[in-house]
């Protein structure tokens, strides 16, 4: 069992962030007799999945869609099917972004060669 403070410290998050995930329906802690949130190993695992999904660039809505499917289909098939669809989309986005960054890198490299040549000319240096 974990408190919100334990989870916040463990995952380097604020308590507010964890409560926000609860508001979105991503986490569903139990309550102690005095009303404090109590997080089980399930919420701990879900929080790890949420953070992994965010690191990979998935939206919270996509993450919710993926992780909550397991509760509807305990075989995990629907969850994996949805994850594969979102994963393929994300992979395509990343591939496209890498292509764009490679093009930008090439343009900057060409500009730098040109700028260096101009600088050498302005300084009266031989090219």
67-71: list long-range contacts, CB under 8 Å, 24+ apart: 67/26, 68/25, 68/26
DSSP at 29: -
Per-residue confidence of the chain (127 residues) as pLDDT tens digits? Answer: 999 999 999 999 999 999 999 999 999 999 999 989 999 999 999 999 999 999 999 999 999 998 888 778 888 898 899 999 999 999 999 999 999 999 999 999 999 999 999 999 999 987 6
Beta pairing partners, 2: 39
Torsion of CA 110, 113, 119, 122, to 10 degrees: -90
d(CA 62, CA 50): 10
């Amino acid at each position: 069992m974990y408190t919100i403070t334990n989870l916040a410290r463990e995952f380097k998050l604020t308590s507010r962030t964890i409560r926000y995930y609860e508001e979105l329906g991503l986490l569903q802690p139990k309550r102690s007799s005095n009303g404090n949130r109590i997080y089980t190993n399930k919420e701990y695992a879900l929080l790890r999945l949420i953070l992994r999904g965010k690191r990979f660039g998935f939206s919270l809505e996509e993450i919710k869609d993926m992780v909550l499917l397991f509760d509807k289909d305990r075989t995990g098939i629907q969850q994996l099917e949805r994850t594969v669809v979102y994963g393929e989309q994300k992979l395509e986005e990343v591939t496209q972004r890498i292509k764009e960054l490679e093009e930008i890198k090439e343009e900057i490299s060409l500009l730098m060669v040109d700028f260096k040549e101009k600088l050498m000319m302005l300084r009266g240096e031989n090219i």
